[in-house]
Amino acid sequence: MDTQALRTEIKALLVRELHLEGRAPGDIDDDAPLFGEGLGLDSLDALELAMAIEEAYGVRIPEGDASRPAFASVAALAAWVAAARATPPGG
C-alpha cells in the first residue's frame, strides 16, 4: 500500500474510531499535530487510537513516551505503520 493511501485510511480510522463529530477524513491535514493544537486528542484518544491501529494493521504501538514520534501527525503515524509492517517480527 502506498503512503498516501495509508494516510487516507488512517484519517478515516481516526474519524470513525474516535468519533470526531463534524470532521471528514479529508479535513485532516497530514502534518497537523494529533494532540494539542492540532486535532486536540487526549490521552484516552491515544489509547483508543493505538488499539485501533494495532487491530487494523497488525503492528504494535510502543507504550508511553516511545509512542510520541508515531503519534506526532497522520504522516508520522502512516510512516511508522509502514515501517513496522516492513520489519519482520523480532527484527
Q: Where are the domains of the chain?
A: 3-86
Reading the block at residue 4, the C-alpha cell is 498516501
The pLDDT confidence band at residue 90, using thresholds 50, 70 and 90, is: low
Reading the block at residue 37, the C-alpha cell is 493544537
In this predicted model, what pLDDT tens digit does every residue of 3-40 receive, in sequence order? 899 999 999 999 999 999 889 999 999 999 999 888 99
Topology at the third CATH level for domain 3-86: 1.10.1200
Integer-rounded Cα radius of gyration of the chain = 12
Residue 89 confidence (pLDDT): 64
